[in-house]
Amino acid sequence: MQTLRSVRVLGTGMYVPPDVYTNKDLEKMMDTTDEWIVQRSGIRERRFAKPGIGVSDLAAEAAQHAMAAAGVQAKDIDAIIFATLSPDYYFPGSGVFLQQLLGCGQIPAFDLRNQCSGFLYGLSTAKAFISSGQYDRILLVGAECHSRAINLTTAGRDVAVLFGDGAGAVVLGPSTDAKRGILSVHLHSDGAHKDALKLEYPSMRQWPAITHQMIEDGKHFPFMDGRHVFKHAVTRMPEVVHEALAHHQLQADDVALYVFHQANLRINESVLKHLAQPMSKTHNNIERFGNCSAASIPMVLDECARAGRMQAGDLVCMASFGAGFTWGSALLRW
Ligand code: ACO
């Protein structure tokens, strides 16, 4: 029987566009207040990319940092997995944009559309490819250009104040130390809640896919039942962390660092409370970048890696929850 290889993160990177939009800036665009946004979400500012910049441009910057940290070059990458819900084009996917931008060979490149859980779904996919021996070096990116599809007026304020643009990337490869690497990834979905958080139009279920009237009604912007999402997030995230820990007969106390999706600071505080863990065991950047969906986890991971938050062998636990609903957790020995 073939022996599966351990898979580890060889390098991390992140990039955010330079233009900062504070809550005060949003106050000028819609009926909202800095106080409302901070109290509800913890967000103080976010970045929006300039028109003409696509999600693959942000991803390419993050990827360059991750490849430099891993000590590899574009020619060394065997496959690209691109997690995003805000691709450059409807098709082809942003994976091929990134392949071209980086100057990789004619390697496989594909998009993975699982919203805020996209990075963890990508991690699981990359782990399977590498552990089986199919590929040696995979570039996994999570990147979003949310600013393109949010309604920055009072009509869209419930969603618009939460999201930002950014990219995070990791290079993954086989681990020479069997004790270090990704221990497991646990993934879930429940389509019963697909309409609680969605961007429906243009819809390929409809003919025409979008009308002038739909645009006038703002149907091309995301819809979110915020309370419904919040309620499920604070239940599912601790549940899936416990699932991962139980699988390895580990305890919440054994984890050195929790890396959570950045949807809402209150969600992450609640998850740690459920786990009876102190806030010092996590790192949040939502205050500075807002919710960057698929990019959030790799962005937090990169900030932690560069700040030296993880020592070799430390147990790191990641968890996410997002549209679909989809959710998941990953445990790794750094
Ligand atoms: N500024 C000021 N007032 C606002 C704003 C705003 N930006 N947005 C909404 N309001 C108003 C509402 O209209 C409402 O007014 P009303 O009481 O007169 O009707 C009031 O504020 C309260 O609104 P609620 O929705 O009850 O506020 P809540 O406390 O639930 O917080 C929030 C809203 C922050 C969205 C919260 O529900 C949340 O964080 N939900 C989860 C978000 C999330 O996790 N998303 C998933 C990830 S994204 C992904 O997967 C793509």
Instruction: Please check the confidence at residue 1 and state whether its pLDDT lies above 70.
Output: no
Instruction: Please check the confidence at residue 166 and state whether its pLDDT lies above 70.
Output: yes
pLDDT of 249 reads 98
pLDDT of 57 reads 98
Distance from C-alpha of 193 to C-alpha of 106, rounded to nearest angstrom: 38
What average pLDDT does range 130-152 have in this prediction? 97
Query: Token digits for 122?
Result: 């990508």
CA 191 to centroid of ligand 1, rounded, Å: 22
DSSP for 70-93, written as a single string: HT--GGG--EEEEE-SS-SSSSS-
Peptide bond into 87 cis (omega under 30): no
CA 159 to centroid of ligand 1, rounded, Å: 7
- What confidence category does residue 234 fall into, taking pLDDT thresholds of 50, 70 and 90? very high
Instruction: Based on the residue annotation, tell me whether 292 is a catalytic residue of this protein.
Output: no
Distance from C-alpha of 73 to C-alpha of 218, rounded to nearest angstrom: 43
198 lines ligand 1 (CB under 6 A): no
CA 334 to centroid of ligand 1, rounded, Å: 36
Instruction: Based on the residue annotation, tell me whether 261 is a catalytic residue of this protein.
Output: yes
What average pLDDT does range 12-41 have in this prediction? 98
CA 240 to centroid of ligand 1, rounded, Å: 24
Instruction: Based on the residue annotation, tell me whether 304 is a catalytic residue of this protein.
Output: no
Burial class (CB in 10 A: 0-12, 13-18, 19+), 118: buried
E strand residue ranges, 190-235: 197-198, 223-224
Question: How many CA atoms within 13 Å lie on the side-chain side of 125?
Answer: 21
Helix (H, G, I), strand (E, B) or coil at 69: helix
233 lines ligand 1 (CB under 6 A): yes
Single out the catalytic residue among 116, 145, 292, 304: 116
Single out the catalytic residue among 186, 261, 283, 284: 261
Distance from C-alpha of 143 to C-alpha of 125, rounded to nearest angstrom: 17
Q: Cα–Cα distances in Å, from 59 out to 98, 199, 266? A: 7, 22, 28
pLDDT of 3 reads 73
Backbone angles phi, psi at 95, to 5 degrees: -55, -40
- What confidence category does residue 2 fall into, taking pLDDT thresholds of 50, 70 and 90? low
Mean pLDDT taken over the chain = 97
Q: Percent of the chain scored above 70 by pLDDT?
A: 99
pLDDT one-digit tens code per residue, 96-118: 999 999 999 999 999 999 999 99
pLDDT of 36 reads 98
283 lines ligand 1 (CB under 6 A): no
Counting atoms of ligand 1 from 1, which one is nearest the CA of 158?
8
36 lines ligand 1 (CB under 6 A): yes
pLDDT of 120 reads 98
